[in-house]
Structure 1
Amino acid sequence: MSTPFVSTVRLLVAGLIATLAIPVMSIAKPISPDFVALAKRLKPTVVNIRTTKNIKPRQRARHPQLQQPPFGNFFDDFFGRYFDEAPQQRPRREQALGTGFIISAEGYILTNNHVVSGADEVMVKLSDGREIKGELKGSDEKLDLALIKISEKEKLPVAELGDSDNLEVGEWVMAIGNPFGLAQTVTAGIVSAKGRVIGSGPYDDYIQTDASINPGNSGGPLFDANGRVIGINTAIIAGGQGIGFAIPINMAKDIVAQLRDKGRVTRGYLGVRFQPLTADLAKSFGLDSDKGALIASVEKDTPADKAGLKAGDIILEYDGKPITEGNELPRYVAVTPIDKKVKLVIFRDGKKQVVGVTIARLKDGEAQAAAAGTTESASIGIVVQELTKELASRLGIRDTKGLIVSEVKPGSSAEEAGIAAGDMIIEVNGQGPDTQEKYNAAVAKLKKGDVARLLLKRPDGALYYVAVKIDQ
């Protein structure tokens, strides 16, 4: 027999059960790192670098000199050179400021090459104020990295190196550096993008961040939320705000040992000129994806030539790594041990094939051949390449010599003028540039505001004039 009390209890229990049965939706709020704790822990691993270069006296000019601006070249490019302007007939000392971080307790410090390049003296200032003379152990201009060694009896605090391959866009990051000479400055932000190509060299693969980076931050560490170095702050866009670039730390890991032991870097060499694969080009080859690197030409007597690679082959995989962007290829080749035989998965004649190639050593002057197969005119907005017999055959073009447009930049004057991938360039302002060198020379004469007249040959054989206004 149910009493009023029992009924009430039953109702309460039923209500409780019903409440518990309803899933409670909660919104997870991102928790920012404890930047205070990180800054205290990581500051001792970051150093300030001051370099001095002795400038030889110049002969006094015999013509009137223009008056320099009040502050002269107070900041030079990114890393902030501070000049002590002196009369031309007197020697002077040029100073530069930068940042570095300690990667071993024995005193090895990683920084940018452009911070120490050409310096006659390198001074390293620790976080506790001590200043020690540094020795340049090795440098790599292509990656813009340098290794410095300081002698100190006590073991030094070390910055732990992270894994930049696992970095995700949107992650918190923190930079510590020496911007404008303001030592031990801490800034924070997020990873804005990965894999940025900014035209600084054949191995561009920058991390973009909105953590404030300024002249003097060069060579400083970019830390993740766990306090591990995932990048080396290197560049900013001139006039840009909130846009900085860092070298992924994994690229530095690959060469630190060589810098320490040899003072220079030895890289792998394949011997191809390639270009990014566009959707239109991929379709013309019968490939249903634009992932890969299109070989534009093969250098004679190179590993690629000996392996039988040829123009028109599309490299889909290199040593087990898929090629999603064309600019990945030179980076993969560069870090391959010399004489190692690697497998390439290529697309040729409508099917995939596996090719074995033995990597050689990259000699001076060969980096561009390994990493570039096109010429880009930023002012016009097109990318061109020299036509080969193999490429002409695959594209169904009767011509076997000349220049073909492989890419048109979205929103450019070229796109507005109607230029399309696959067009052949017959003339530029009346000149017939049948090689990239001649094309470069013709474009170099143009300046902002000019109008370039191009005679194009369409894939159907029709000739067509376009006028392109130079907007950059």
Structure 2
Amino acid sequence: MITNNHVVEKAVKVNCVLSDKDQVTAEVLGRDPDTDLALLRLKDCEKKIPLPFAEFADSDKVAEGDFVMALGSPFGFSRSISQGIISNTQRYLGFSGSQYRYNTWLQTDAAINPGNSGGPLVNMDGRIVGINTLSMSSGENIGFAIPSNVVKAVSERLQKNGIVPRCWTGLKLQALKDYFTDTFTAAPGGVLISNVEDESPARFAGVHQGDILLRVNSEVITGTYVEDLPKIEWILAELPAERAAKIEVLRGGKTETLTLMPIRKGKVEGDDFDCRRWNMTVKEINKHQDPMLYFFAKEGVFVQGVRFPGNAAAAGVISGDIVKAVDGHAVKTLKEIQTIYDHAMADDKREKKVLLELERNRQKRWVALDYAKDYEKEQ
């Protein structure tokens, strides 16, 4: 089953209501925050097999004016359907945030409201052309769906690996003819590099702001309009990590070939780990995503989130706390705290309590986290 990542990313338990109105639990097989998609597996429904399902249509064949229906539970009103047309087949939303950079969107005037997220947008044959995801809170009849071809590609990788690994280069791109900013670049082709992040692979490769990216390995780059940018972002993200890539840039009228060494994206943004029984999620500190914490600690692990009610919250742990040690064992990496947590969970004879050494606003404090109570099991 496919839904949006933002629907399940913070869920402790996932329930799904079937077409016969029966409710079953589900497990999350994989999530891809960059495309806002998640893959679920239904549990304890063997007696209902085969379950009814909808087939995907080819979203590349969808045209403006096609009639569509949006299914979902807007504002909690389950099994609701709204009807409209496709308003645009190549809407670019990359300005809104990094998770919207990798694909263009289907825009529709079918009503999409909170609760529609993760539901299908279907054509008049009942085949899925997209997954409802966004709507304009300040306007009416403007909703957006992830095209079915993107959904199929991502879901297949989630089913296989549980994640969609991507690479980070540090390149910020801008269309040659950017009507949104009234910026027009005189270049025969390629895409404008609007910025190069500090200490990034692109910076180390010698890429400059204002260069025109013409080629990545054997792939010719075309970024004339903003609708062209997602394909280029996808090409860069799909480069093999830690493997040299040849890029060709235009600078001052001359073509230069540079060597780019992409980094796996998670290494830059910071991986996270869910300490389920402690009811908190921890994450590696990095200067790209956590600049304020990086100012206090160049390495280490911090509390990304605390669930309520939960053992961590009861002990006084809050989001943003830096974890310095657990039971006297220093913590500098995510792997270290994961090892400590796994050992604690495997030891049935030990007292269900750990001593956390935390740093908050440059002040150290110690808290005893009692995890004898299993909040998730009781829910």
User: What TM-score does the superposition give when structure 1 sets the normalisation length?
Assistant: 0.47
SS of the aligned residue for 1:139 comes to strand
Does the 8 A contact of 2:73 with 2:80 survive in 1? yes
Cα distance between partner residues in 2 of 1:162 and 1:339: 36
Alignment correspondent of 1:181: 76
Q: Which amino acid aligns with 2:13?
A: E
**1:309 counterpart = 2:207:** yes
Find 1:196's aligned residue among 67, 92, 106. Answer: 92
Cα distance between partner residues in 2 of 1:360 and 1:265: 14
Please report how far the alpha carbon of residue 342 of structure 1 lies from its aligned counterpart in structure 2 after TM superposition.
5.7
Alignment correspondent of 1:169: 64
Find 2:5's aligned residue among 101, 113, 116. Answer: 113
Alignment correspondent of 1:231: 130
SS of the aligned residue for 2:116 comes to coil
1:92-123 deviations in whole A, cap 9, x for unaligned?
Answer: xxxxxxxxxxxxxxxxx111122223222211
Cα distance between partner residues in 1 of 2:254 and 2:84: 45
Aligned length in residues? 258
SS of the aligned residue for 2:159 comes to helix
Does the 8 A contact of 1:177 with 1:186 survive in 2? yes
Shifted more, 145-154 versus 335-344: the winner is 335-344
* Aligned CA distance change for structure 1 residues 137 and 227 (closer, same or farther; 3 Å): same
Does the 8 A contact of 1:293 with 1:325 survive in 2? no
Please report how far the alpha carbon of residue 331 of structure 1 lies from its aligned counterpart in structure 2 after TM superposition.
3.4
Please report how far the alpha carbon of residue 185 of structure 1 lies from its aligned counterpart in structure 2 after TM superposition.
2.0
Within-5 A mapping of 1:327-406: 327-328=229-230, 329-338=232-241, 344=247, 346-350=249-253, 357=260, 359-363=262-266, 365-366=268-269
Q: Which amino acid aligns with 1:322?
A: T
Runs of 4+ displaced beyond 6 Å: none
Cα distance between partner residues in 2 of 1:278 and 1:247: 25
Does the 8 A contact of 2:173 with 2:191 survive in 1? no
* Aligned CA distance change for structure 1 residues 352 and 341 (closer, same or farther; 3 Å): same
Shifted more, 318-327 versus 128-137: the winner is 318-327
Q: Which amino acid aligns with 2:38?
A: A
Alignment correspondent of 2:34: 142
User: What TM-score does the superposition give when structure 2 sets the normalisation length?
Assistant: 0.58
Percent identity over paired residues: 35
Q: Which amino acid aligns with 2:71?
A: I
Unaligned runs of 5+ in 1: 1-108, 371-472
Alignment correspondent of 1:244: 143
* Aligned CA distance change for structure 1 residues 240 and 161 (closer, same or farther; 3 Å): same
* Aligned CA distance change for structure 1 residues 209 and 146 (closer, same or farther; 3 Å): same
Q: Which amino acid aligns with 1:214?
A: N
Alignment correspondent of 1:385: none
Cα distance between partner residues in 2 of 1:239 and 1:158: 34
Within-5 A mapping of 1:53-92: none
Cα distance between partner residues in 1 of 2:132 and 2:205: 39
Q: Which amino acid aligns with 2:148?
A: I
Alignment correspondent of 1:222: 121
Does the 8 A contact of 2:248 with 2:255 survive in 1? yes
Alignment correspondent of 2:225: 325
1:38-81 deviations in whole A, cap 9, x for unaligned?
Answer: xxxxxxxxxxxxxxxxxxxxxxxxxxxxxxxxxxxxxxxxxxxx
Please report how far the alpha carbon of residue 244 of structure 1 lies from its aligned counterpart in structure 2 after TM superposition.
0.6
SS of the aligned residue for 1:155 comes to coil
Does the 8 A contact of 1:287 with 1:350 survive in 2? no
Please report how far the alpha carbon of residue 176 of structure 1 lies from its aligned counterpart in structure 2 after TM superposition.
1.7
Cα distance between partner residues in 1 of 2:38 and 2:9: 9
Alignment correspondent of 2:51: 156
* Aligned CA distance change for structure 1 residues 260 and 315 (closer, same or farther; 3 Å): same
SS of the aligned residue for 1:170 comes to coil
Please report how far the alpha carbon of residue 339 of structure 1 lies from its aligned counterpart in structure 2 after TM superposition.
5.6
Q: Which amino acid aligns with 1:146?
A: A
Alignment correspondent of 1:271: 170
SS of the aligned residue for 2:98 comes to coil
* Aligned CA distance change for structure 1 residues 269 and 216 (closer, same or farther; 3 Å): same
